[in-house]
A and B are shown apart, each in its own frame.
Chain A
Amino acid sequence: MSAAPQALIAELTYRCPLHCVYCSNPVQKSDSARELSTEDWVNIVQQAGALGCWHLHLTGGEPLLRTDLEQLVRTGRASGLYVNLITSGLGLSRERLRALVEAGLDHIQLSFQDSDEGEANAFAGLRAHAQKLRVASWIREHRLAFTVNIVIHRQNIRRLEEMIGLAEQLNADKLEIANVQYYGWALRNRAALLPSYDQLRRSLPIVEAARSRAAGRMRIAYVLPDYHAKYPKACMGGWGRGLMLIDPAGRAMPCHSAHVIPGLAFPSVAEQSLRSIWEDSPVFQRFRGDDWMQEPCRSCDRKTADFGGCRCQAMLLANDAAATDPVCSLSPHRAVVDDLIRQAMRESDRQPAWVYRIEPVA
Protein backbone atom coordinates (compact mmCIF):
# COMPACT_ATOMS: atom_id res chain seq x y z
CA MET A 1 0.00 0.00 0.00
CA SER A 2 1.21 3.44 -0.82
CA ALA A 3 -0.27 6.93 -0.34
CA ALA A 4 -2.26 8.17 -3.34
CA PRO A 5 -0.29 9.37 -6.35
CA GLN A 6 0.20 13.14 -6.30
CA ALA A 7 -0.13 13.45 -10.03
CA LEU A 8 -1.70 11.68 -12.93
CA ILE A 9 0.11 12.09 -16.23
CA ALA A 10 -2.35 11.65 -19.08
CA GLU A 11 -0.64 10.98 -22.40
CA LEU A 12 -3.66 11.72 -24.52
CA THR A 13 -2.08 10.86 -27.85
CA TYR A 14 1.27 9.99 -29.40
CA ARG A 15 0.33 12.00 -32.50
CA CYS A 16 2.43 15.15 -32.87
CA PRO A 17 3.09 17.65 -35.65
CA LEU A 18 6.70 18.02 -34.52
CA HIS A 19 9.50 15.58 -35.38
CA CYS A 20 11.92 16.45 -32.58
CA VAL A 21 15.24 14.68 -32.80
CA TYR A 22 15.07 14.00 -29.03
CA CYS A 23 11.45 12.89 -28.75
CA SER A 24 11.02 10.81 -25.61
CA ASN A 25 7.96 8.89 -26.79
CA PRO A 26 8.47 5.19 -27.51
CA VAL A 27 10.26 4.45 -30.78
CA GLN A 28 7.84 1.61 -31.46
CA LYS A 29 4.36 2.97 -31.24
CA SER A 30 2.46 -0.14 -32.13
CA ASP A 31 -0.62 0.94 -30.26
CA SER A 32 -0.63 4.47 -31.60
CA ALA A 33 -3.61 3.85 -33.82
CA ARG A 34 -5.71 3.06 -30.78
CA GLU A 35 -6.55 5.94 -28.49
CA LEU A 36 -8.91 6.01 -25.56
CA SER A 37 -12.29 7.62 -26.13
CA THR A 38 -13.42 10.83 -24.47
CA GLU A 39 -15.63 8.78 -22.20
CA ASP A 40 -12.66 6.66 -21.09
CA TRP A 41 -10.55 9.71 -20.26
CA VAL A 42 -13.39 11.42 -18.40
CA ASN A 43 -13.72 8.30 -16.29
CA ILE A 44 -9.96 8.15 -15.61
CA VAL A 45 -9.79 11.82 -14.64
CA GLN A 46 -12.73 11.44 -12.27
CA GLN A 47 -11.08 8.41 -10.68
CA ALA A 48 -7.85 10.38 -10.22
CA GLY A 49 -9.75 13.08 -8.36
CA ALA A 50 -11.51 10.54 -6.15
CA LEU A 51 -8.21 8.79 -5.45
CA GLY A 52 -6.80 12.02 -4.02
CA CYS A 53 -4.43 13.09 -6.81
CA TRP A 54 -3.52 16.78 -6.78
CA HIS A 55 -2.37 17.38 -10.33
CA LEU A 56 -3.47 16.34 -13.77
CA HIS A 57 -0.83 16.76 -16.47
CA LEU A 58 -2.28 16.65 -19.97
CA THR A 59 0.45 15.73 -22.39
CA GLY A 60 1.30 13.60 -25.43
CA GLY A 61 2.39 13.72 -28.24
CA GLU A 62 0.52 16.94 -28.80
CA PRO A 63 -2.59 16.98 -26.58
CA LEU A 64 -4.14 19.80 -28.65
CA LEU A 65 -4.75 17.21 -31.38
CA ARG A 66 -7.50 15.84 -29.15
CA THR A 67 -10.67 17.79 -29.90
CA ASP A 68 -12.01 16.83 -26.46
CA LEU A 69 -9.21 18.63 -24.59
CA GLU A 70 -11.52 21.39 -23.29
CA GLN A 71 -13.88 18.77 -21.88
CA LEU A 72 -11.02 16.95 -20.14
CA VAL A 73 -9.77 20.20 -18.59
CA ARG A 74 -13.29 20.89 -17.32
CA THR A 75 -13.61 17.39 -15.91
CA GLY A 76 -10.22 17.74 -14.21
CA ARG A 77 -11.25 20.95 -12.49
CA ALA A 78 -14.64 19.53 -11.51
CA SER A 79 -12.84 16.53 -10.00
CA GLY A 80 -10.75 18.78 -7.77
CA LEU A 81 -7.56 18.52 -9.80
CA TYR A 82 -5.01 21.16 -10.69
CA VAL A 83 -4.84 21.06 -14.48
CA ASN A 84 -1.61 21.51 -16.40
CA LEU A 85 -1.24 21.41 -20.19
CA ILE A 86 2.12 20.47 -21.70
CA THR A 87 2.13 21.57 -25.33
CA SER A 88 4.11 22.64 -28.36
CA GLY A 89 1.48 25.31 -29.03
CA LEU A 90 0.85 23.92 -32.52
CA GLY A 91 -2.87 23.79 -33.12
CA LEU A 92 -3.67 26.50 -30.61
CA SER A 93 -5.61 29.63 -31.54
CA ARG A 94 -6.35 32.61 -29.35
CA GLU A 95 -9.97 31.46 -29.11
CA ARG A 96 -9.10 27.90 -28.20
CA LEU A 97 -6.74 29.08 -25.49
CA ARG A 98 -9.54 31.22 -24.07
CA ALA A 99 -11.85 28.21 -24.07
CA LEU A 100 -9.24 26.12 -22.24
CA VAL A 101 -8.74 28.82 -19.63
CA GLU A 102 -12.49 29.15 -19.18
CA ALA A 103 -12.68 25.37 -18.75
CA GLY A 104 -10.33 25.75 -15.77
CA LEU A 105 -6.77 25.36 -17.01
CA ASP A 106 -4.35 26.31 -14.20
CA HIS A 107 -0.95 26.07 -15.84
CA ILE A 108 0.49 25.84 -19.33
CA GLN A 109 3.94 24.60 -20.24
CA LEU A 110 4.98 25.70 -23.72
CA SER A 111 7.98 24.09 -25.37
CA PHE A 112 10.63 25.90 -27.37
CA GLN A 113 13.44 24.17 -29.25
CA ASP A 114 15.86 27.13 -29.30
CA SER A 115 15.99 30.93 -29.19
CA ASP A 116 17.13 31.05 -32.81
CA GLU A 117 14.20 30.52 -35.16
CA GLY A 118 16.12 28.68 -37.88
CA GLU A 119 17.79 26.32 -35.42
CA ALA A 120 14.57 25.78 -33.48
CA ASN A 121 12.75 24.78 -36.64
CA ALA A 122 15.61 22.47 -37.60
CA PHE A 123 15.45 20.59 -34.27
CA ALA A 124 11.66 20.29 -34.53
CA GLY A 125 11.68 19.36 -38.21
CA LEU A 126 8.91 21.92 -38.69
CA ARG A 127 8.49 25.69 -38.95
CA ALA A 128 6.95 25.96 -35.52
CA HIS A 129 8.87 28.71 -33.74
CA ALA A 130 6.82 31.70 -34.93
CA GLN A 131 3.57 30.05 -33.84
CA LYS A 132 5.06 29.41 -30.38
CA LEU A 133 5.88 33.11 -30.04
CA ARG A 134 2.28 33.98 -30.88
CA VAL A 135 0.97 31.46 -28.37
CA ALA A 136 3.21 32.92 -25.64
CA SER A 137 1.74 36.38 -26.17
CA TRP A 138 -1.82 34.99 -25.98
CA ILE A 139 -1.01 33.15 -22.76
CA ARG A 140 -0.12 36.41 -21.05
CA GLU A 141 -3.62 37.72 -21.77
CA HIS A 142 -4.83 35.36 -19.02
CA ARG A 143 -4.17 34.83 -15.34
CA LEU A 144 -2.53 31.47 -15.79
CA ALA A 145 0.81 30.01 -14.66
CA PHE A 146 3.16 30.02 -17.64
CA THR A 147 6.26 27.87 -17.90
CA VAL A 148 8.60 27.84 -20.87
CA ASN A 149 10.28 24.47 -21.44
CA ILE A 150 13.47 24.28 -23.45
CA VAL A 151 15.38 21.09 -24.12
CA ILE A 152 19.10 21.63 -24.48
CA HIS A 153 21.83 19.47 -25.97
CA ARG A 154 25.21 19.75 -27.60
CA GLN A 155 23.86 21.56 -30.67
CA ASN A 156 22.16 24.45 -28.84
CA ILE A 157 23.71 24.71 -25.37
CA ARG A 158 25.95 27.53 -26.61
CA ARG A 159 22.86 29.73 -26.92
CA LEU A 160 21.77 29.15 -23.32
CA GLU A 161 22.04 32.85 -22.48
CA GLU A 162 19.81 33.79 -25.45
CA MET A 163 17.31 31.07 -24.57
CA ILE A 164 16.99 32.42 -21.03
CA GLY A 165 16.59 35.89 -22.54
CA LEU A 166 13.76 34.62 -24.73
CA ALA A 167 11.84 33.21 -21.74
CA GLU A 168 12.30 36.52 -19.90
CA GLN A 169 11.03 38.42 -22.91
CA LEU A 170 7.97 36.19 -23.03
CA ASN A 171 7.27 37.00 -19.36
CA ALA A 172 7.27 33.38 -18.30
CA ASP A 173 6.74 32.68 -14.59
CA LYS A 174 9.17 29.85 -14.85
CA LEU A 175 11.76 28.50 -17.25
CA GLU A 176 12.61 24.84 -17.28
CA ILE A 177 15.82 24.07 -19.07
CA ALA A 178 16.23 20.35 -19.36
CA ASN A 179 19.12 18.52 -20.87
CA VAL A 180 18.02 15.73 -23.17
CA GLN A 181 17.37 12.47 -21.39
CA TYR A 182 18.36 9.47 -23.42
CA TYR A 183 15.25 7.42 -23.99
CA GLY A 184 13.02 6.89 -27.01
CA TRP A 185 14.14 8.78 -30.08
CA ALA A 186 16.81 10.68 -28.14
CA LEU A 187 18.64 7.43 -27.48
CA ARG A 188 19.01 6.92 -31.23
CA ASN A 189 20.45 10.41 -31.63
CA ARG A 190 22.56 10.33 -28.47
CA ALA A 191 25.91 10.72 -30.25
CA ALA A 192 24.73 13.97 -31.85
CA LEU A 193 23.08 15.36 -28.73
CA LEU A 194 25.20 14.57 -25.68
CA PRO A 195 27.01 17.73 -24.53
CA SER A 196 30.61 17.69 -23.43
CA TYR A 197 31.50 18.03 -19.78
CA ASP A 198 33.12 21.32 -20.63
CA GLN A 199 29.99 22.73 -22.28
CA LEU A 200 28.07 21.75 -19.21
CA ARG A 201 30.55 23.31 -16.80
CA ARG A 202 30.35 26.58 -18.71
CA SER A 203 26.54 26.53 -18.57
CA LEU A 204 26.34 26.54 -14.76
CA PRO A 205 27.46 30.15 -14.05
CA ILE A 206 25.19 31.36 -16.88
CA VAL A 207 22.18 29.81 -15.16
CA GLU A 208 23.29 31.10 -11.75
CA ALA A 209 23.66 34.67 -13.03
CA ALA A 210 20.27 34.50 -14.74
CA ARG A 211 18.65 33.22 -11.54
CA SER A 212 19.82 36.27 -9.58
CA ARG A 213 18.89 38.63 -12.39
CA ALA A 214 15.38 37.18 -12.75
CA ALA A 215 14.71 36.67 -9.03
CA GLY A 216 11.15 37.68 -8.16
CA ARG A 217 10.07 37.60 -11.82
CA MET A 218 10.98 34.24 -13.26
CA ARG A 219 12.20 31.06 -11.63
CA ILE A 220 14.66 28.85 -13.45
CA ALA A 221 14.90 25.10 -13.10
CA TYR A 222 17.96 23.51 -14.68
CA VAL A 223 18.08 19.76 -15.25
CA LEU A 224 21.59 18.47 -15.89
CA PRO A 225 22.23 15.47 -18.11
CA ASP A 226 22.60 12.56 -15.77
CA TYR A 227 25.34 10.95 -17.91
CA HIS A 228 27.67 13.62 -16.51
CA ALA A 229 26.35 13.47 -12.96
CA LYS A 230 27.97 11.93 -9.93
CA TYR A 231 24.71 10.49 -8.64
CA PRO A 232 21.59 9.50 -10.56
CA LYS A 233 18.35 11.44 -10.70
CA ALA A 234 15.50 10.44 -8.40
CA CYS A 235 13.63 9.21 -11.45
CA MET A 236 9.87 9.92 -11.25
CA GLY A 237 10.45 10.68 -7.55
CA GLY A 238 10.81 6.93 -7.06
CA TRP A 239 8.99 4.10 -8.82
CA GLY A 240 5.30 4.04 -7.89
CA ARG A 241 5.78 6.68 -5.19
CA GLY A 242 4.04 9.77 -6.51
CA LEU A 243 3.21 9.47 -10.18
CA MET A 244 0.98 7.40 -12.39
CA LEU A 245 1.04 7.67 -16.15
CA ILE A 246 -1.65 6.52 -18.54
CA ASP A 247 -0.54 6.02 -22.15
CA PRO A 248 -2.78 6.83 -25.14
CA ALA A 249 -4.12 3.27 -25.27
CA GLY A 250 -4.98 3.22 -21.56
CA ARG A 251 -2.07 1.30 -20.12
CA ALA A 252 -1.03 2.44 -16.64
CA MET A 253 2.71 2.85 -16.19
CA PRO A 254 5.02 4.12 -13.44
CA CYS A 255 6.93 6.13 -16.07
CA HIS A 256 6.75 6.74 -19.80
CA SER A 257 9.76 4.60 -20.63
CA ALA A 258 8.86 1.57 -18.55
CA HIS A 259 8.01 -0.45 -21.66
CA VAL A 260 11.76 -0.93 -22.24
CA ILE A 261 11.80 -3.23 -19.21
CA PRO A 262 10.87 -6.74 -20.30
CA GLY A 263 8.34 -8.79 -18.41
CA LEU A 264 6.20 -5.96 -17.07
CA ALA A 265 2.50 -6.45 -17.80
CA PHE A 266 0.99 -2.96 -17.70
CA PRO A 267 -2.53 -3.00 -16.32
CA SER A 268 -5.25 -1.54 -18.49
CA VAL A 269 -7.58 1.13 -17.17
CA ALA A 270 -10.36 -0.69 -19.00
CA GLU A 271 -9.96 -3.69 -16.70
CA GLN A 272 -8.88 -2.24 -13.37
CA SER A 273 -9.57 0.87 -11.32
CA LEU A 274 -6.77 3.39 -10.81
CA ARG A 275 -6.86 2.62 -7.11
CA SER A 276 -6.37 -1.09 -7.55
CA ILE A 277 -3.65 -0.49 -10.15
CA TRP A 278 -1.84 1.85 -7.76
CA GLU A 279 -2.22 -0.30 -4.67
CA ASP A 280 -2.15 -3.86 -5.95
CA SER A 281 -0.70 -4.23 -9.43
CA PRO A 282 2.64 -6.08 -9.61
CA VAL A 283 4.04 -3.46 -12.02
CA PHE A 284 3.66 -0.59 -9.55
CA GLN A 285 5.06 -2.69 -6.74
CA ARG A 286 7.97 -4.06 -8.74
CA PHE A 287 10.52 -1.37 -7.76
CA ARG A 288 8.61 0.31 -4.93
CA GLY A 289 10.46 0.58 -1.61
CA ASP A 290 13.96 -0.94 -1.49
CA ASP A 291 13.57 -4.72 -1.27
CA TRP A 292 14.46 -5.07 -4.94
CA MET A 293 17.74 -3.19 -4.62
CA GLN A 294 21.16 -4.70 -5.20
CA GLU A 295 24.48 -3.44 -3.93
CA PRO A 296 25.77 -0.76 -3.93
CA CYS A 297 22.25 0.74 -3.56
CA ARG A 298 21.07 -1.59 -0.82
CA SER A 299 23.51 -0.31 1.78
CA CYS A 300 23.79 3.23 0.38
CA ASP A 301 22.70 6.27 2.39
CA ARG A 302 21.40 7.88 -0.77
CA LYS A 303 18.84 5.19 -1.48
CA THR A 304 16.06 7.28 0.06
CA ALA A 305 17.20 10.34 -1.89
CA ASP A 306 17.53 8.97 -5.42
CA PHE A 307 15.88 5.53 -5.09
CA GLY A 308 18.68 3.90 -7.07
CA GLY A 309 18.09 6.19 -10.04
CA CYS A 310 16.24 5.21 -13.17
CA ARG A 311 15.10 1.61 -13.73
CA CYS A 312 14.76 2.12 -17.47
CA GLN A 313 18.27 3.49 -17.75
CA ALA A 314 19.59 0.52 -15.74
CA MET A 315 17.86 -1.72 -18.28
CA LEU A 316 19.12 0.23 -21.31
CA LEU A 317 22.73 0.56 -20.18
CA ALA A 318 23.33 -2.43 -17.88
CA ASN A 319 20.70 -4.79 -19.22
CA ASP A 320 19.35 -5.26 -15.70
CA ALA A 321 16.40 -3.16 -14.55
CA ALA A 322 17.22 -3.82 -10.87
CA ALA A 323 20.84 -2.70 -11.14
CA THR A 324 22.12 0.59 -9.75
CA ASP A 325 21.57 3.26 -12.40
CA PRO A 326 24.84 3.07 -14.40
CA VAL A 327 25.25 6.87 -14.39
CA CYS A 328 25.95 6.64 -10.63
CA SER A 329 29.66 6.99 -9.89
CA LEU A 330 29.24 4.07 -7.45
CA SER A 331 27.78 1.75 -10.09
CA PRO A 332 29.95 -1.16 -11.25
CA HIS A 333 28.68 -0.32 -14.77
CA ARG A 334 29.77 3.34 -14.77
CA ALA A 335 32.47 2.58 -17.40
CA VAL A 336 29.69 1.96 -19.95
CA VAL A 337 28.54 5.57 -19.53
CA ASP A 338 32.08 6.97 -19.70
CA ASP A 339 32.63 5.05 -22.94
CA LEU A 340 29.42 6.47 -24.41
CA ILE A 341 30.50 10.01 -23.52
CA ARG A 342 33.93 9.48 -25.12
CA GLN A 343 32.31 8.06 -28.22
CA ALA A 344 29.91 11.00 -28.50
CA MET A 345 32.75 13.48 -28.06
CA ARG A 346 34.76 11.87 -30.86
CA GLU A 347 31.87 12.74 -33.17
CA SER A 348 31.31 16.18 -31.71
CA ASP A 349 33.18 18.12 -34.37
CA ARG A 350 31.31 16.51 -37.20
CA GLN A 351 27.98 17.72 -38.47
CA PRO A 352 25.16 16.08 -36.55
CA ALA A 353 23.82 13.10 -38.42
CA TRP A 354 20.58 12.71 -36.64
CA VAL A 355 17.41 10.95 -37.52
CA TYR A 356 14.13 12.82 -37.49
CA ARG A 357 11.10 11.26 -35.98
CA ILE A 358 8.79 10.92 -38.96
CA GLU A 359 5.31 9.64 -38.52
CA PRO A 360 2.19 10.10 -40.50
CA VAL A 361 0.14 12.74 -38.74
CA ALA A 362 -3.40 11.49 -38.49
Chain B
Amino acid sequence: MNELEGRPILRPGCRLSASSDLLLIPEGALRLQGPAAHIVQACDGVKTVPEIVATLLKNFPGTEEARVWDETSAFLTKLRDRAILEFV
Protein backbone atom coordinates (compact mmCIF):
# COMPACT_ATOMS: atom_id res chain seq x y z
CA MET B 1 0.00 0.00 0.00
CA ASN B 2 2.46 2.59 -1.22
CA GLU B 3 0.09 5.50 -0.69
CA LEU B 4 0.93 5.34 3.01
CA GLU B 5 4.60 5.85 2.30
CA GLY B 6 6.41 8.47 4.28
CA ARG B 7 6.13 9.63 7.86
CA PRO B 8 2.67 10.59 9.02
CA ILE B 9 2.07 13.69 11.10
CA LEU B 10 -1.08 15.55 12.09
CA ARG B 11 -1.81 18.50 9.84
CA PRO B 12 -1.60 22.03 11.26
CA GLY B 13 -4.60 22.74 13.47
CA CYS B 14 -5.20 19.08 14.36
CA ARG B 15 -4.13 17.80 17.76
CA LEU B 16 -4.93 15.43 20.58
CA SER B 17 -6.82 16.82 23.55
CA ALA B 18 -4.96 16.99 26.87
CA SER B 19 -6.67 13.80 27.99
CA SER B 20 -5.82 12.10 24.65
CA ASP B 21 -9.38 10.84 24.17
CA LEU B 22 -10.30 13.42 21.53
CA LEU B 23 -8.69 14.32 18.25
CA LEU B 24 -9.47 18.03 17.85
CA ILE B 25 -9.77 19.34 14.30
CA PRO B 26 -10.99 22.68 12.88
CA GLU B 27 -14.50 21.35 12.19
CA GLY B 28 -15.05 19.41 15.41
CA ALA B 29 -13.52 16.44 17.18
CA LEU B 30 -13.22 12.68 16.81
CA ARG B 31 -13.59 10.49 19.87
CA LEU B 32 -10.69 8.05 19.94
CA GLN B 33 -11.23 4.52 21.16
CA GLY B 34 -8.98 1.56 21.80
CA PRO B 35 -5.52 1.90 20.28
CA ALA B 36 -6.51 4.94 18.17
CA ALA B 37 -4.94 7.44 20.56
CA HIS B 38 -1.69 5.40 20.56
CA ILE B 39 -1.64 5.45 16.76
CA VAL B 40 -2.20 9.21 16.64
CA GLN B 41 0.50 9.79 19.26
CA ALA B 42 2.92 7.74 17.17
CA CYS B 43 2.32 9.98 14.13
CA ASP B 44 5.21 12.30 14.90
CA GLY B 45 6.57 12.95 11.42
CA VAL B 46 9.58 10.80 12.30
CA LYS B 47 8.29 7.22 12.35
CA THR B 48 7.20 5.43 9.19
CA VAL B 49 4.04 3.33 9.12
CA PRO B 50 5.95 0.04 9.59
CA GLU B 51 7.70 1.61 12.59
CA ILE B 52 4.36 2.71 14.02
CA VAL B 53 3.01 -0.81 13.61
CA ALA B 54 6.09 -2.18 15.37
CA THR B 55 5.53 0.24 18.27
CA LEU B 56 1.90 -0.87 18.56
CA LEU B 57 2.86 -4.54 18.56
CA LYS B 58 5.23 -3.82 21.42
CA ASN B 59 2.55 -1.91 23.36
CA PHE B 60 -0.18 -4.45 22.68
CA PRO B 61 1.61 -7.81 22.90
CA GLY B 62 -0.28 -10.83 21.71
CA THR B 63 -2.17 -8.97 18.98
CA GLU B 64 -2.06 -10.54 15.56
CA GLU B 65 0.37 -8.60 13.36
CA ALA B 66 -1.78 -8.74 10.20
CA ARG B 67 -4.69 -7.27 12.09
CA VAL B 68 -2.62 -4.40 13.48
CA TRP B 69 -1.39 -3.67 9.95
CA ASP B 70 -4.90 -3.66 8.49
CA GLU B 71 -6.45 -1.57 11.21
CA THR B 72 -3.61 0.94 11.38
CA SER B 73 -3.56 1.38 7.60
CA ALA B 74 -7.33 1.80 7.46
CA PHE B 75 -7.30 4.37 10.28
CA LEU B 76 -4.41 6.37 8.83
CA THR B 77 -6.03 6.34 5.39
CA LYS B 78 -9.24 7.66 6.89
CA LEU B 79 -7.42 10.47 8.69
CA ARG B 80 -5.48 11.36 5.57
CA ASP B 81 -8.64 11.47 3.44
CA ARG B 82 -10.24 13.79 5.96
CA ALA B 83 -7.23 16.12 5.75
CA ILE B 84 -6.30 15.44 9.38
CA LEU B 85 -3.03 13.69 8.61
CA GLU B 86 -0.28 14.27 6.09
CA PHE B 87 2.78 12.27 5.08
CA VAL B 88 6.11 14.03 5.11
Q: Which residues of A contact B (CB under 8 A)?
A: 6, 54-55, 80, 82, 84, 106-107, 142-147, 173-174, 216, 219
Contact = CB atoms under 8 A, between A and B. Distances in A.
B80 to A, nearest CB: 9
Given A82-B24, A106-B26, 5 more contacts: A6-B29, A54-B22, A80-B18, A144-B13, A147-B26
Interface string B1-17: 00000000001111101
A144 B29 contact: no
A157 B81 CA distance: 29
Contacts of A82: 15, 24, 29
A107 B26 CA distance: 7
A80 B11 CA distance: 19
Contacts of A216: 83
A260 to B, nearest CB: 27
Contacts of B17: 80
B61 interface: no
B28 interface: yes
A316 to B, nearest CB: 28
A55 B28 CA distance: 7
Given A54-B22, A80-B18, A219-B83, A173 B28 contact: no
Given A54-B22, A80-B17, A145 B12 contact: yes
A54 B11 contact: no
A202 to B, nearest CB: 27
Interface in B14-67: 14-15, 17-19, 22, 24, 26, 28-29
A94 to B, nearest CB: 18
7 contacts: A55-B29, A80-B18, A82-B15, A82-B29, A144-B12, A144-B13, A216-B83
B13 A106 contact: yes
A54 B83 contact: no
A54 B25 CA distance: 10
A315 B24 CA distance: 35
Given A143-B12, A173-B13, A219-B83, A106 B28 contact: no
A318 B39 CA distance: 52
A295 to B, nearest CB: 33
Contacts of B28: 6, 54-55
Contacts of B26: 84, 106-107, 145, 147, 173-174
A143 to B, nearest CB: 5
Contacts of B11: 145, 173
Nearest to B10: A143
A145 B22 contact: no
Contacts of B22: 54
Given A54-B29, A55-B28, A84-B26, A106 B83 contact: no
A107 B13 contact: yes
Contacts of A145: 11-14, 26
3 closest A-B pairs by beta carbon, nearest first, are A145-B13, A82-B24, A143-B12
Nearest to A7: B28
Which of B18, B19, B24, B26 has the most chain A CB atoms closer than 10 A to its own CB? B26
A145 B12 CA distance: 5
Contacts of B83: 173-174, 216, 219
Nearest to B24: A82
